[in-house]
Amino acid sequence: MCFKQDCLGAGGIGVRKMGIADFAVRPLADDGVVLATYRLKDQTRKQETLRSSIWKRVDGRWRMCFHQGTPKKASHQKRPDSGRAIS
């Protein structure tokens, strides 16, 4: 387990330049459940991740129920066989 003081004492994660793109929020239910999606660009490490979070309104406050970050591949070339089943 890593505690805050351990991370800060070891130099921490440092300061990185980040940017957010394509931010969108979509309702999933009528009772205060939404899906937030966006791309996070780490300009220091030259990495990009696709992010999604599910938020629910509980007692008047928004609470995150789920979060996923998926690294984006450097190349976006489509495979020639895309759409075909692989056996």
Distance CA 24, CA 63 (A): 17
pLDDT value at residue 87:
42
Tell me whether residue 33 is in a domain: yes
Tell me whether residue 51 is in a domain: yes
Tell me whether residue 50 is in a domain: yes
Q: What is the residue range of 54's domain?
A: 19-71
Which residue is it, tokens 């394509």? 22
Tell me whether residue 65 is in a domain: yes
Total of domains in the chain: 1
Distance of CA 11 to the CA centre of its chain: 24
Tell me whether residue 32 is in a domain: yes
The alpha-carbon radius of gyration of the chain (Å, integer) is: 18
Mean pLDDT across the chain, nearest whole number?
A: 82
Q: In this structure, what CATH number is given to the domain that contains residue 27? A: 3.10.450.50
Tell me whether residue 42 is in a domain: yes
Tell me whether residue 31 is in a domain: yes
Res. 49 pLDDT band, cuts 50 70 90: very high
